[in-house]
Amino acid sequence: MEGLVGPTLKHTTNMQIRFTDSQRFLNLLMKTMRLLLFSPRSVPPSNNSKQDFGRNSARVLRSKTAFFRDEGAKKSAVLLGLIMAASSPAFAASTSSPFLGHWALTIPGGGAGWLGVTETNGKLSANILWGGGSVLPVSDVKLAGGELVLTRQSGGARRGTTGAPPTIETITAKLDGDNLKLTTVKSRANQPEFDRAEFTGKRTPALPPAPDLSKVQLGEPIKLFNGQNLDGWRLINPRAANGWTVKENVLSNNPVQEQGQPRRNYGNLRTEAEFEDFNLTVDVNVPQRGNSGLYLRGIYEVQVDDSYGRPLDSHNMGAIYSRITPTAAAEKPAGEWQSLDITLVDRHATVILNGKKIINNQPILGCTGGALWSDPLRPGPIYLQGDHSGVSYRNIVLRPVVK
């Protein structure tokens, strides 16, 4: 009993415990309390159980007044405190939240998405990535009937104007082990329900600790761009317009739109080869108001943008798009060649822009907008965004991490 009550209570008070059934926890505490009150330490065993039973029972009753002065009182106080904590609303919320964590989504149509659910002081909150764009907070999160219900709002008239009513999207998630079965449905004031669809999610493994980069071994350099042609590269969407050309050891994208003609959709360019962890160095030249992106493993975008002179932001040059904000502004003005030195190891990113470290071994919680898929463990290509504006790249060299 000493081994159960003393050390177990001592360790329990210093741990964050997540229970899926608070009633089971309360039952366990009550059993432990009974064992504590009537343990062999309080009622020593007797060789004559029949004759000593009455005397032992009386001894227990007489000891009740003095009980709270002995060592057991401290243990009982801890138990009572845990029982009170388990009865609180915050505990009830945490015990009924198996949805906490990060989820890789495959959204309707097959695109990549991400969901992160957290809890603070018993209140749930969530952020979601839906295909392209940024990771955004969800306006409302609640549990109902064992399901997670998320509410998002978009559109609607601006303040002081009239226009279309806002669109309310309700996403309902059911848990199936480490998988989610989700349903989305939209509604407006004048349209009760539309765009209903089903999709799936999978819990992502916990992030490993930040790697010791001084111990990471890199293999031989691989020249991804040969400076002569597009060997080793292809469009992600073969039906898209190809704006990529090679001239004088420079890979350039020129997505020209002809006036008076339908808009042409230009393609993103990816390597044929796929990689796991690596170090990547590349030079990039962004024109004025230019925008592109360099994707690691096909799912993490390092932003390429004319952000010179802007305040720090997770959408600036060298950022992990909408996820990690650079700690310093190291951009050069538009039209100048800039250098990127990027290391990706164990889902942690380090970015050096123009010789200055702007992201230092920071964890990436999930994929970014435009990802090819949402699985963070799957190897993937390097891909260059070509559907935004003109941009040029050169000296693209990758050194894989040696496992």
User: What residue ranges do the domains of the chain occupy?
Assistant: 2-95, 101-203, 213-400
Please say if the pLDDT value at position 86 is more than 80: no
SS (H, E, C) the chain: CHHHHHHHHHHHCCCCCCCCCHHHHHHHHHHHHHHHHCCCCCCCCCCCHHHHHHHHHHHHHHCHHHHCCCHHHHHHHHHHHHHHHHCCHHHHHHHCCCCCEEEEEECCCCCEEEEEEEEECCEEEEEEEECCCCCEECCEEEEECCEEEEEEEECCCCCCCCCCCCEEEEEEEEEECCEEEEEEEEEECCEEEEEEEEEEEEECCCCCCCCCHHHCCECCCEECCCCCCCCCEEECCCCCECCEEEECCEEEECCCCCCCCCCCCECCEEECCCECCEEEEEEEECCCCCEEEEEECCCEEEEEECCCCCCCCCCCCCCECCCECCCCCCCCCCCCEEEEEEEEECCEEEEEECCEEEEEEEECCCCCCCCCCCCCCCCECCEECCCCCCEEEEEEEEEEECC
Please say if the pLDDT value at position 195 is more than 50: yes
Whole-number average pLDDT of the chain: 83
Please say if the pLDDT value at position 294 is more than 90: yes
pLDDT over 90 percentage in the chain: 71
- The reported pLDDT for the residue numbered 206 is 95
**Averaged pLDDT, 36-53:** 46
Nearest to residue 211, comparing CAs of 380, 345, 391?
A: 345
Place of tokens 């990535």: 129
Please say if the pLDDT value at position 3 is more than 50: no
- The reported pLDDT for the residue numbered 50 is 45
Which of 30-44, 102-116, 170-184, 198-212 shows the lowest per-residue confidence on average (mean pLDDT)?
30-44
The residue among 56 and 378 whose pLDDT is bigger is: 378
- The reported pLDDT for the residue numbered 156 is 64
- The reported pLDDT for the residue numbered 160 is 55
CATH number corresponding to 213-400: 2.60.120.560
The length of the chain is 403
Residue 59's pLDDT band, with cuts at 50, 70 and 90, is: low
The residue among 340 and 74 whose pLDDT is bigger is: 340
Residue 190's pLDDT band, with cuts at 50, 70 and 90, is: confident
- Euclidean distance between CA atoms 35 and 70, whole angstroms: 16
Q: Does the domain at residues 101-203 carry the CATH identifier 2.40.128?
A: yes
Which of 91-100, 197-206, 210-219, 252-261 shows the lowest per-residue confidence on average (mean pLDDT)?
91-100
Please say if the pLDDT value at position 87 is more than 80: no
Angle, CA of 330, 379 and 137, to the nearest 5°: 60
- The reported pLDDT for the residue numbered 158 is 55
- The reported pLDDT for the residue numbered 27 is 52
The residue among 297 and 45 whose pLDDT is bigger is: 297
- The reported pLDDT for the residue numbered 71 is 53
- The reported pLDDT for the residue numbered 35 is 52
Please say if the pLDDT value at position 337 is more than 90: yes
Q: What pLDDT digit, counting tens, does each position of 7-36 carry?
A: 333 333 333 333 334 444 445 555 555 554
**Averaged pLDDT, 40-59:** 47
Residue 332's pLDDT band, with cuts at 50, 70 and 90, is: very high
The model's pTM is 0.78
- The reported pLDDT for the residue numbered 68 is 41
- The reported pLDDT for the residue numbered 268 is 98
Which of 22-26, 171-175, 249-253, 290-294 shows the lowest per-residue confidence on average (mean pLDDT)?
22-26
Both tokens of 291, joined, read 């925008």
pLDDT over 70 percentage in the chain: 74
The residue among 316 and 11 whose pLDDT is bigger is: 316
Q: Which is it for the CA torsion 273, 274, 276, 279, positive or negative?
A: positive
Which of 251-255, 258-262, 279-283 shows the lowest per-residue confidence on average (mean pLDDT)?
258-262
With a CB cutoff of 8 Å and minimum separation 6, the contacts of 265 are: 240, 241, 387
